[in-house]
Structure 1
């Protein structure tokens, strides 16, 4: 599974706009789409999961933020959802692994050495990647921890064997430095969701990511 480029959806947008952004990103070759919705009902989130699964159509890895129950519900109706991204206050990753199975993708948010220690304590195979951030201040997560910057990210990424995906306030100019700092990939929200033409930005993001040197595990 490639982790180079993640699109995390912005629940401040109308869902029709989100669907268009996801379609453009997948067409441009984004590797992972994460549906992130912090409010609303479970019924609405399930409907959005079903709709975006159809847009992604197996062309990228599709995961849902936080909600293992939604992943299971969607799968129960035959909808493809590849896994879940969990935060520190969500269901523990080892419990999610037992529920979702060995083939599912499970990511976990980590932004401190203590989080890396907790990740290391899980049985091998529990986690597929860590989401590490925020890199820069971002309006999409107003309660975010202090920004790490590229150097702070590099220190955390070097301290774990798990692939680390950088997230939080990332711009086009950050992609190559983050890859050089050990990022297995980058995750963006506003860079695509707030773009006037997300297709153009997604193609440029793909171009830069493909050209960036790969220094994972340095």
Structure 2
């Protein structure tokens, strides 16, 4: 029996697969996807996954996991700059990163960065990434996944805290540092000093825990699990904050 879907419907199937995979904490098998989408045969599924390789990551078993290239616009989240939001200039969501990662924005509806996922700009980006039907909770889950973290959504390690005298410029100015104060080598798994390290290895120290929580990281996990998620999130990010 041939699948009723033709080439023109590949995008339709891709959107259905995306909807199925959203919220899955672990990858699911190709066979399981076919069972859920009963009118989609394995040949069609393979065509879709092959065409949208940036959206679906296939492991050897084979199992499939939803990936996304969507980011939150860095310019939009800047206090002193305004993003024109014109495609293809901007491909990031115009939304408060703390709202979308954890809902822990202190400004609520008065937030200048916005909490509306359904603006014309945001909907265009979601549509282009096969996620037009995604709910707010599903988008939060997707963007807070370690696999989908970007340089904007990964909690930053304070680079000033990690220099010679452990001095943080924010602390010296009497302001609250937005980055976690922790030994970067500990997070990266390269600290040679262990318990004798002069810098903190306390992932869940009060201020660090608050920052992690705002970034959508589950602070009820063990410290080992949190460090693993952090390491996974920053791996592959060529960022001055971690090098």
- TM-score by length of structure 2 reads 0.28
Higher RCO (CA-CA < 8 Å; seq separation 6+): 1
Higher strand share: 1
Which of the pair has more CA radius of gyration? 2
